[in-house]
């Protein structure tokens, strides 16, 4: 099955619910093809839940929303083994992780112990409980949200957790015309109730393999590595990009090129994805933050300063 027609159908289906936000939906498709998870940092009410529901319906998969609170326990996410008196044995009752699309709302309100319960699931697509390993359904994608404004009663995500998210994106407020279109669409019943599935989950698993047919030239590979290295050597950055970040930037560039109907990666693909891939992974030094610097502004500066060295130039 061809990748482009399927992705376009999914995007068109989501557009029946999500007005505008084409860039965010495109990045979501990139993460989906890369088997990655997405961190959405935005204020309440901009459509994060509707985006997750629309994606799940389009994939014909299962969707659950998990509201994080300080009293949420790891077993509330992964599941629990319960003793069955009839069979005289323990039976595993799966938790909300066992879906295709999981919306983890306000993930930074959960305690670090509960946040860590997501690590194995996000990295290995499995859950281990009482010595038994249970595979998760495929595709499996976590859309986690956090509020960038409110910090009271929250627990910042640890670096290892942040590194598991392949992309970070924000939806932002709609424009005047987009908000008008939202109001015109909602007449008694929300448009999400009329959505139908576009593909089967197994079909998407097959399409994912096609991104590896996209060629990444050595010049572009060197450019990706130099961009990541520049974050490790910058005087204002305490923690730069990891090798996982390098892999994420390379893989997402392949997926973006495939979505845009190319079998090769352009340097512009890398530049377009550098902020979504790196902004949540970098930790700035306190003095840099006091000067008003942000990860996004530093990354954009590094993109400008990092040259693309062609082979004849290196010779």
Q: How many CA atoms lie within 13 A of 146 on its CB side?
A: 20
User: What pLDDT, on the 0 to 100 scale, is given for residue 161?
Assistant: 82
- Domains of the chain listed by start with CATH number: 1-209 (3.40.50.300), 214-315 (1.10.8.80)
pLDDT band at 313 (very low <50, low <70, confident <90, very high): low
HSE-CB at 266 with a 13 A cutoff on CA atoms is 10
| pLDDT greater at residue 250 or residue 139 | 250
Give the Å distances, CA to CA, from 117 to 95, 114, 128, 131, 199: 11, 5, 10, 15, 30
Q: Are the CB atoms for 306 and 226 separated by under 8 Å?
A: yes
Q: What is the 3-state secondary structure (H, E, C) of 3-29?
A: HHHHHHHHHHHHHCCCCCCHHHHHHHH
Cα separations in angstroms, 21 against 37, 88, 168, 171, 176: 18, 53, 14, 6, 13
- pLDDT class of 315 with cuts at 50, 70, 90: very low
Q: Look at residue 42 in the predicted model and tell me its pLDDT.
A: 79
Share of the chain above pLDDT 90, in %: 27
How many Å apart are CA 210 and CA 191, to the nearest integer?
A: 32
pLDDT-derived band of residue 311, with 50, 70 and 90 as boundaries? low
Mean pLDDT confidence for 293-310 = 88
Overall average pLDDT of the 63-88 stretch: 83
| Adjacent-strand bridge partners of 187 | 189
pLDDT on residue 151: 61
């Amino acid at each position: 099955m061809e990748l482009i027609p399927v992705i376009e159908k999914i995007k068109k289906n989501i557009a029946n619910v999500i007005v505008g936000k084409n860039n965010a939906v495109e990045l979501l498709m990139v993460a989906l093809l890369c088997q990655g998870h997405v961190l959405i940092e935005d204020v309440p009410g901009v459509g994060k839940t509707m985006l997750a529901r629309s994606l799940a319906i389009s994939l014909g998969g299962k969707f659950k929303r998990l509201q994080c609170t300080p009293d949420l326990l790891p077993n509330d996410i992964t599941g629990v083994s319960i003793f069955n008196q009839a069979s005289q044995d323990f039976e595993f009752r799966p938790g909300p992780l066992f879906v295709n699309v999981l919306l983890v709302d306000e993930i930074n309100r959960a305690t670090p112990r509960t946040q860590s319960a997501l690590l194995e699931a996000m990295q290995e697509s499995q859950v281990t409980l009482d010595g038994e390993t249970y595979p998760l359904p495929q595709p499996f994608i976590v859309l986690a949200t956090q509020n960038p404004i409110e910090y009271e009663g929250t627990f910042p995500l640890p670096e290892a957790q942040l590194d598991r998210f392949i992309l970070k994106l924000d939806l932002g407020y709609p424009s005047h015309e987009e908000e008008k279109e939202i109001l015109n669409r909602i007449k008694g019943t929300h448009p999400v109730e009329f959505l139908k599935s576009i593909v089967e989950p197994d079909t998407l698993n097959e399409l994912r393999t096609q991104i590896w047919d996209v060629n990444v030239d050595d010049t572009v590979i060197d450019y990706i590595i130099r961009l990541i290295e520049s974050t490790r050597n910058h005087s204002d950055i305490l923690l730069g990009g990891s090798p996982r970040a390098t892999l994420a930037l390379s893989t997402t560039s392949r997926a973006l090129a495939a979505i845009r109907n190319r079998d090769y990666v352009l340097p512009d693909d890398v530049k377009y994805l550098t902020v979504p891939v790196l902004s949540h992974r970098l930790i700035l030094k306190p003095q840099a933050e006091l000067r008003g610097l942000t990860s996004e502004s530093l990354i954009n500066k590094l993109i400008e300063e990092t040259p693309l060295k062609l082979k004849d130039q290196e010779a």
